[in-house]
Structure 1
Amino acid sequence: MTVAAKICGLTDAAAVAAAVENGAAYVGFVFYGPSPRNISPEKAAALTASVPNSVQKVGLFVDPSDDLIRQVLAALPLDLIQLHGSEPPERVRDIKKTFGLPVMKAIKIDSAASIADASPYEGVADMLLFDAKEPKTMKNALPGGNGLTFDWTLLADAKIKSRWMLAGGLNAENIAEAVRISGAHIVDTSSGVEIEPGRKDPAAIKTFLMATQAIETQKQVET
């Protein structure tokens, strides 16, 4: 099994370089003002100028207007639009049609029942991303990147027809177990490779990516 990895919430050149040089399949940039990882389209364009075409550039948006998406795309080409808000399937479909790009929709998980929230997006979104749902009691909670995990066994037997990505509190220490339990083939981390919110640690990025590659090697050896 090959495990691909996305490093999200990148804000500086050293972190982008660490992601690319150590084998990230996706690099993610946040275009959401309240997030400490928010970045301007112009800065994101500068950071992605040297990213090879083999690495997919992802823009994360939260209930965005068409104008915001248009502003970002005018500055840099994205390979994938990630929607991390409360966008209904109709909005996902509309964004795909308007901008001609694949869309990944985040689904917040806190129970077995919340897995069913993915169903209306299957056949609409090109990919799904399963993330931990922030508790109502959590202060200053963000739509994502809160460093929270969820019960990965909820995905183990779920009949998900779409391609999907696992997120939520993933780091080098727990990634092997998360993949083993959930069956994920693609994983996403942000807070798990940070010194503080919005400030990535290049060494932690390298360690995380090495850990995902070790899972791949182990699976290949076992087969």
Structure 2
Amino acid sequence: MKRTSVKICGLQSVEVLKSIVHLPIDYVGFVFARSKRQVSGAKAAELIPILKEWQTAAAPLSVGVFVNPTLLELSHILAEAPLDIIQLHGAETPDFCREVKQNLGVKVFKALSVKEDGSIHDAHPLAGYEGAIDGLLLDTYDPLYGGGSGKTFAWERAQPYKEWAEEHQVEFLAAGGLHADNVEELIALISPDGVDVSSGVETDGVKDISKITAFVERVKGI
């Protein structure tokens, strides 16, 4: 049975991170784009070392979430906070993604924003992204922030993107409105390589340890 990776996004608290070091989490996301979960480079630099305290077989990789950054902005952030992966949620071109990979020495995840009916916002083509990205993330479109809407999209429409990812040996992740009570349904339907959650493990806008634990347990079957 395929092992599904877990990404918990929008972490801002040292205390929360320290409370989940026993859970088999694969990626921890820090949001640098405009958001109520936004962190600074200095804050991320405070949080990233906690990942080395993880008590499972492997420590999570750190992911920085950006929308239409410049290469200079990314290099400044990386100088302050040594992220493993740059996740791009804007209109970043294949050439830009390739430049980030080659010049900054990080992996690149490209997010596509999916409308609730399954169509891609701005009809973002995948042609050209071959070799430019390491992960493809489908997230529900939000007109204000691009992603992180807390809403699901038509999951059955994900198949062509999953097939593209498989063909090009790119990790395929699904996000958007996931929580402990629906993530098993998504996994059964589209079998992504990984799932990404943020608001679905929060209570009143704050990361909830019990919800994070329940989500991870459902995905990992523990």
Q: Please state whether the residue corresponding to 2:126 is helix, strand or coil.
A: helix
Partner of 2:113: 108
Structure 1 residue 17 corresponds to structure 2 residue 18: yes
Unaligned runs of 5+ in 1: 218-223
What is the TM-score when the length of structure 1 is the normalising length? 0.85
1:166 lines up with 2:174 in the alignment: yes
Please report the RMSD computed on the Cα atoms of aligned residues, expressed in angstroms: 1.9
Residues 147 and 186 of structure 1: CA distance in aligned 2, closer, same or farther (over 3 Å): same
In the alignment, structure 1 residue 184 sits paired with structure 2 residue 195:
no
Which residue of structure 1 lines up, in the alignment, with residue 86 of structure 2? 81
Q: Distance in 2 between matches of 1:20 and 1:166?
A: 23
2:36 aligns with 36
Task: Spell out the pairing of 1:199-210 with structure 2 (5 A cutoff).
Answer: 199-210=206-217
The 3 A distance-change label for structure 1 pair 49 and 207 is same
Deviates more, 1:70-79 or 1:168-177: 70-79
How many equivalent residue pairs? 208
Q: Distance in 2 between matches of 1:82 and 1:176?
A: 24
**Percentage of matched positions with identical amino acids:** 35
- Which structure has more relative contact order (CA 8 Å, sep 6+)? It is 1
CA offset digits 1:57-78 (Å, max 9, x no partner): 1111111122321222112211
- Counterpart-to-counterpart distance in 1, 2:214 and 2:187: 16
| Counterpart AA for 1:24 | I
Contact 1:14 1:202 in 2 (8 A): no
Partner Cα distance (2:21, 2:110) in 1: 24
1:150 maps to 2:153: yes
Match of 1:2 in 2: 3
Structure 2: unaligned runs, 5 residues or longer: 53-57
Counterpart position of 2:46: 46
> How far did 1:118 drift?
3.1
8 Å contact from structure 1 (residues 154, 182) kept in 2: no
Number of the residue aligned with 2:132: 124
Letter in 2 for 1:143: G
Using the TM superposition, give the Cα deviation of residue 190 of structure 1 relative to its aligned residue in structure 2, in angstroms.
Answer: 0.6
Classify the secondary structure of the residue corresponding to 1:165: strand
Q: Counterpart in 2 of 1:58? A: 63
- The answer to whether the 8 Å contact 1:63/1:83 transfers is yes
Q: Distance in 2 between matches of 1:113 and 1:47?
A: 36
Give the secondary-structure state (helix, strand or coil) at the position aligned to 1:6.
strand
> How many angstroms does 1:55 deviate by?
1.3
Residue 113 of structure 1 and its aligned partner are, at CA, apart by 5.1
User: Partner letter of residue 191 of structure 1?
Assistant: S
- Counterpart Cα distance in 2 of 1:106 and 1:75: 24
Contact in 2 for aligned 1:128/1:164 (Cα 8 Å): yes
Change (3 A) 1:108 1:120: farther
